Structure 1
């Protein structure tokens, strides 16, 4: 969805995803604040964007470590999908593949949900080795003229940090780096215009979606981007399909538990076995019905 500039104070906020009242109250409080970091003329220096981001991320933390980590990865995945067009535009055949990193995140989410259901430890990934490989593969060739290296540097930094989010101990720090690249940096678009609108999209769409592990109401697509409808459709379809699959896995007899990760007998009862075809994890299969649910990217 293309987000156009609108006065933030007049925005009508509705939450598609159910969120706790304290989180809703916090988001509505932040809605009335203004930040110098977002180039808002109303800002008087009393509100710190860094403090606000930390406070919001704190609301995603749960007593269940796995649930907290899933929310962080979910948010990173949404932001990575929004930044992906920047990398593809400037480096369509670059050495760093956003597609592979996105697929890695999808695989981690599905495997973590499955392992949580059967009380196994979540998937651990050696992120430091992956980060070193990504950094070593940086390509300085740009077939498209680029006004500032800051654009591609910060876009690629989003994907480096998206991998770091897969390590629970690095996840919050990595999310903050991603948000800095997106909200204040040039990873999504350059310049100062439209920063508040981007921030509000994150605040009112991405945060509730991440809390509930659901797709955002809309995806931020830069005005004037070619094939934007195709990009938006692919982003939305991916998140819808993952969310559908998670609900399918965890939706057995909810009356027995109010918590997402207490369904210890589902895998056995439903005979669910999620497989990823090929090393790039291109599709998800429900092997009980032998029916392809979706092809991701």
Structure 2
């Protein structure tokens, strides 16, 4: 039985939204029986909107940094699960590990800033806040595209989807800067980056290729990633190491 470890510690309205979305069937997840009229994109948008609405209600005031950290936590969790794809094709392992470590450090620092704004002064910033905007995974992909072809990798779309996740993660993370005050336009842009990541992970091939395991991946996002993001906790088990993926593998073996 799948353990919903983080789901139990979130507000009731967010639980209700997640459970309502989880009860639906989606054509995009290759669920051909009893598909409802709600698209997967609409379902994802509903959850993201509710997540931020509830998060704002728990703040003493409307804190844009806190909203950004929710997005950043979710993006980081998903990027960690994409790392298995990066590892499989052995493309820039050190680069992408560095990106994950940098974003993790930024989140840790700015969670402290939420309770102590004085920590956000430039002279108190650590080296991990160095701008990583010059790191462009998509350009990296173009540079080594021919190398992948020489290796006989038939489906480059898998790599493109995986690298696009890191590209959007960098975009989201780079909004956390001591000299940049977030505004509403920034939040909309960050939300667009996050929706891109969700598309590449839940519908694209960034985490798993093909149709098998799509529903399990979606449920993992609903019941683990969303609650952990609300709690500003990016340290959860990546999908392929989770009980959700294990359950899918067991079912596939039984069917075989």
TM over 0.5: yes
1:134 corresponds to: 137
SS at match of 1:42: coil
Moved more, 202-211 or 160-169: 160-169
Aligned to 1:183: 202
Give the structure-1-normalised TM-score.
Answer: 0.63
TM-aligned CA deviation for residue 60 of structure 1: 2.6
2:49 equivalent to 1:50: no
Select the residue among 136, 153, 158 that pairs with 2:160: 153
> 31, 34, 41: which is aligned to 2:32?
41
Kindly state the Cα deviation for residue 30 of structure 1 after the two structures are TM-superposed: 1.0
TM-score by length of 2: 0.72
- d(CA) in 2 for partners of 1:106, 1:173: 21
RMSD: 2.9
Higher-RCO chain (CA-CA 8 Å, sequence separation at least 6): 2
What are the Cα deviations for residues 212-264 of structure 1, in whole angstroms up to 9, with x where unaligned? Answer: 123566431179xxxx9xxxxxxxxxxxxxxxxxxxxxxxxxxxxxxxxxxxx
Which deviations, in whole Å up to 9, do the C-alpha atoms of 1:141-193 show, x marking residues without a partner?
23754230100010001100111122362321111111111111111111012
Taking the TM superposition and a 5 Å limit, the aligned residue runs for 1:35-184 are 35-61=26-52, 62=56, 63-92=62-91, 94=92, 97-120=95-118, 129-130=133-134, 133-138=136-141, 139-140=144-145, 141-142=147-148, 145-166=152-173, 167=175, 169=186, 170-184=189-203
Task: Select the residue among 18, 21, 25 that pairs with 1:27.
Answer: 18
Alpha-carbon distance, 1:200 to partner: 0.2
1:17/1:209 contact within 8 Å kept: no
Cα 1:88–1:57 change in 2 (3 A) is same
How many Å apart are 1:106 and its aligned residue? Answer: 1.2
Change (3 A) 1:144 1:221: farther
Structure having the larger proportion of residues in strand: 1
SS of 1:60's partner is helix
Paired residue secondary structure (1:135): helix
Q: Residues 67 and 17 from structure 1, CA distance in 2 versus in 1: closer, same or farther, beyond 3 angstroms?
A: farther
Native 8 Å contact 1:95 1:137 kept in 2: no
More helix by share: 2
Among 217, 226, 240, the residue aligned to 1:198:
217
- The runs of at least 4 consecutive aligned structure 1 residues that moved more than 6 Å come to 122-125
**8 Å contact kept, 1:96–1:137:** no
Distance 1:13-1:109 versus aligned 2 partners, 3 A rule? closer
CA distance in 2, matches of 1:216, 1:27: 20
Q: In structure 2, what is the Cα distance between the partners aligned to 1:96 and 1:45?
A: 43
Q: Distance in 2 between matches of 1:149 and 1:85?
A: 15
